[in-house]
Structure 1
Amino acid sequence: MGKRKFLYMVYNENEQSVTSTGIEFADFVHALPIGINHILLLDSGYAEGEFHAGLRMEYVRKERLQALYKENVYAYGDFCWVDFEEVAVLNKLEPQEKAELLYLGHFKQPLESPFFEKLCNQFVYLAHDDGWFNKVFYKNAELYTGMLRQLVANRLKTYGLDTPPITADVGEQLKLFAKDGLLIESSRLVKSHTGVEVPLHVIGTITNHDELYNNIERYKSEARSQHWLVYKNGEWTIRQHH
């Protein structure tokens, strides 16, 4: 399928959500700047969770998350969850809160806020064919930039490159690009003896990821702007494509 050949993401500042293709569940959790306590599964095929009778939902405790991280969640089709702080709070959710969680898992969008005061969730993760269409709500926008900074470094490791995470200022610039649809082509990076350059294209908001994948060269040729993400002499920068 080639879903890992590039990263494409759209950052919606009003929602504090990121819609993406090319970022899988394992990519996400291994790039997060904070840890996750527990996970409430809104929609998934995971069979090893604990059943909560009051919610009629499965959840996974923190100490068992490593097994979930190793799962092929793409095979589930839909894979949707929220994190939460304390297991005991699941017994304290009111009918309205339960209804909002059920709506979130079924319709893949929040009925009200995606964040629940009792759960203290930092994320809402909504995926269909994980890595192909993902939408993540971030309670704090800095969690997104922190994830993105580490994600790129992790992706470069798969090409035999060992770089530090992207610096905060460059991460903020990437977030600005992502407001208009950012394509990061890690598979077309250019190595040199002094560093690496990764092509960036700002191509607008594309909701149909099949359309993007099938016509990627056209979208690149019509890009609003083109740049290089550069790691050279121990420093991260972004330069305009000429």
Structure 2
Amino acid sequence: MAKKERDIDDYLAHLYVHTNEIEHFALFSGISVQQFLKFTDLPFLLLLKHRYEDSSFNMHTQMEFIGKNQYAHFLKEMTEKSFSLCLLDFSDERKLNMLTPQEQAELLYIAHKKEAFRSPFYHHLQNRFVYMTDEEQHITKIYFRDHEDFYYLIADWFNQQIKDKTKSTAFWRKKNNVILPELSSTTVERYTDFYEDGVIMSLFRSDKTNYGIEIRCLPENIFPDEVLEDIKHHIKRPYDFIIEV
């Protein structure tokens, strides 16, 4: 069957994904810090790089942090001011007091270089993620302790897109029992090998109740932070795979 060609307006959202399983991180374009925090439900965030003015201060590390009750205000500031960000989650402020000078130095290195020279997951902190993004959120880098969270994040991102698009285009149906299609993390995992080379995942609506995701593998010489800016160019290529949702 011939592949149906779509115009740029036929797509609802695009997500760039490029994984590095050896070093436990992925690069994204299209995921915002708001979407990330909504997905993760983390108790505390250690702010390694930021310009947020209402954070709390830990005397031992001389680093700033926020708790869950501050997230809404933090995200509002992030939206209004747009600043580069590097953060990681932790379970309890008392655990910050157990970080060694070496571990504190490693955290500063991560914030400065946007990379880790050894595993960025610390026993005392029990952090699941390290999250960093540039000022305009063109490119986001996330370290995952558990790679399963990577699959769940992508599935959750697309499911939220579908939910939002359905709300905005079918308000008249909201009183009906509309069952939205849902992308599973298991389906996302099937394409693991392709994420390592970098892909664009493009969401479209196939009919009133069904959606699909086109996956296009990208050449090695692209700049990740420019992928979505050049999306019209990339989607001219035939898709390599398609996921029915």
Shared fold, TM over 0.5:
yes
Task: Tell me the TM-score normalized by structure 2.
Answer: 0.81
Please state if 1:167 is matched with 2:184.
Answer: yes
Q: Distance in 2 between matches of 1:24 and 1:30?
A: 10
Q: Which residue of 1 aligns with 2:8?
A: none
Q: Distance in 2 between matches of 1:41 and 1:214?
A: 29
Shift of 1:131: 3.0
- Seen in structure 2, the aligned counterparts of structure 1 residues 145 and 59 have a Cα distance that, compared at 3 Å, is same
- Give yes or no for contact 2:14–2:228 (8 Å, CA) kept in 1: no
Summarize the alignment of residues 62-77 of structure 1 with structure 2, pairs less than 5 Å apart.
Answer: 62-73=68-79, 75-77=81-83
Please state if 1:26 is matched with 2:41.
Answer: no
Task: In structure 1, give the amino acid aligned to 2:90.
Answer: F
Q: CA RMSD in A?
A: 2.4
- Give yes or no for contact 2:181–2:209 (8 Å, CA) kept in 1: no
Task: In structure 2, give the amino acid aligned to 1:229.
Answer: I
Summarize the alignment of residues 21-170 of structure 1 with structure 2, pairs less than 5 Å apart.
Answer: 21-32=29-40, 35-73=41-79, 75-160=81-166, 163-170=180-187
- CA deviations on 1:40-71 (whole Å, 9 max, x unpaired) are 00001111110123222210123333432444
The unaligned stretches of length 5 or more in structure 2 are 1-11, 168-178
Q: Which residue of 1 aligns with 2:201?
A: 184
Q: Distance in 2 between matches of 1:179 and 1:215?
A: 20
Q: Distance in 2 between matches of 1:96 and 1:88?
A: 18
Shift of 1:216: 3.3
Please state if 1:9 is matched with 2:17.
Answer: yes
Shift of 1:217: 4.0
Q: Distance in 2 between matches of 1:23 and 1:126?
A: 11
Q: Distance in 1 between matches of 2:221 and 2:17?
A: 9
- CA deviations on 1:112-154 (whole Å, 9 max, x unpaired) are 2211111111000011125311100000000111111111100
Please state if 1:227 is matched with 2:233.
Answer: no
- Seen in structure 2, the aligned counterparts of structure 1 residues 100 and 73 have a Cα distance that, compared at 3 Å, is farther
Query: What percent of counterpart residues are identical?
Result: 24
Task: In structure 2, give the amino acid aligned to 1:57.
Answer: M
SS of 2:51 mapped into structure 1? coil
Shift of 1:214: 4.5
Task: In structure 2, give the amino acid aligned to 1:55.
Answer: T
Shift of 1:219: 3.5
Task: In structure 2, give the amino acid aligned to 1:119.
Answer: L
Structure showing greater radius of gyration is: 2
Q: Distance in 1 between matches of 2:43 and 2:111?
A: 20
Q: Larger relative contact order (C-alpha < 8 A, sep ≥ 6)?
A: 2
Runs of 4+ in 1 over 3 A off after TM superposition: 73-76, 204-207, 213-223
- CA deviations on 1:150-173 (whole Å, 9 max, x unpaired) are 111001223226635412331212
SS of 2:240 mapped into structure 1? strand
Q: Distance in 1 between matches of 2:19 and 2:153?
A: 13
Shift of 1:36: 0.8
